[in-house]
Amino acid sequence: MKKDLILFGPPGAGKGTQGALLADHFGMLRLSTGDVLRDAVRRGTTMGSEAQRYMNAGELVPDEVILGIVRDYLNGEAVNAGVICDGFPRTLPQARKLNHLLGELNRPLFGVIVLRVDDEMLIKRLSGRRSCGACGAVYNVYFEPPRAENVCDSCSGPLTLRPDDEAATVRRRLEVYNEQTAPLVEYYEGASVPIHHVNGDQAVDAVQRDLITLIEK
């Protein structure tokens, strides 16, 4: 399926989970700028150390860094399959640049899918998230708690909170979303790109079903 789409929504809406499932289902590629940045932080690259301080403060990484990531990706082999943009674009200059890059490659956007979840749920999803440093399993202390506190059920590894999931940082990430990213919906409306709203406040498989139905239409 060669449909490029933007998975849009606040942090904690489920973009990462749903994007990965959709990529798998349709044989598409998922470009998560957050994952690329976290990987750079782990590997200790120059980009990673520049990005880390913004990420830990819940702020956006500068547009030039993000645009470099996206340009490299779209110029690579990835262009042969549909791309699901997860966590990108987040600012108006990023959206304009994406339009330009896709236009050059002659790839019209299938649309923007907005995952809607209310703030109280978002805060629980993010601040409750714990991941295993050893095997990568993910839990949530409110919805999917591990059997023993802070210990992974699968491998007994230690569970940790992502630095940007600390309560104060979560609040800042939501503010940044409302201030800088949410207004992009208007930009896409103005550009006549189809916008689809999906209720992200359901079980993972119910959201997935809604998304698949929408994309197959």
Q: Provide the token pair at 99.
A: 């339009």
Of 97, 124, 162, 172, the catalytic one is: 162
SS3 of residue 132 by DSSP: strand
Decide if residue 187 touches ligand AMP (CB under 6 A).
Answer: no
Comparing every residue's Cβ against ligand AMP, the nearest one is: 34
Nearest approach, Cβ of 177 to ligand AMP (angstroms)?
9
Structure tokens at 200: 């992200």
Half-sphere exposure of 17 (CA within 13 A, CB side): 19
**Can residue 125 be called a binding residue for ligand AMP (CB under 6 A)?**
no
CA dist 172 and 164 (Å) reads: 9
Q: Does residue 208 belong to the site contacting ligand AMP (CB under 6 A)? A: no
Q: Which of 30, 90, 125, 130 is catalytic?
A: 90
Collapsing DSSP to helix, strand or coil, 29 comes out as strand
CA-closest candidate to residue 69, choices 32, 103, 99: 32
In angstroms, the first-to-last Cα distance of the chain is 12
In the stretch 27-66, what mask flags binding to ligand AMP with x, by CB under 6 A? ------xx--x----------------xx--xxxx----x
Cβ 148 to ligand AMP shortest distance, Å: 27
Tell me how far, at minimum, the Cβ of 110 lies from ligand AMP, in Å.
19
Task: Draw the binding track, 135-174, toward ligand AMP (x: CB under 6 A; -: no contact).
Answer: -----------------------------x--------x-
Instruction: Indicate the SS3 state at residue 216.
Output: helix
- How far apart, in whole angstroms, are the C-alpha atoms of residue 202 and residue 17? 13
Write down the catalytic residue from 15, 30, 125, 130: 15
Distances (CA, A) of 51 to 39, 198, 215: 11, 31, 33
Buried b vs exposed e over 18-41: b needs ≥16 C-beta within 10 Å? bbebbbeebebbbbbbbebbbebb
Q: How far is the CB of 194 from ligand AMP (least distance, A)?
A: 21
Q: What share of the chain is helix, strand, coil (3-state, %, to 5)?
A: 50, 20, 30
Q: Give the per-residue contact string, 2-31, with ligand AMP (x = CB under 6 A; - = no).
A: ---------x--------------------
Contacts with ligand AMP by CB under 6 A lie at 11, 33-34, 37, 54-55, 58-61, 66, 87-88, 90, 94, 164, 173
Which residues are identified as catalytic?
15, 90, 129, 162, 173
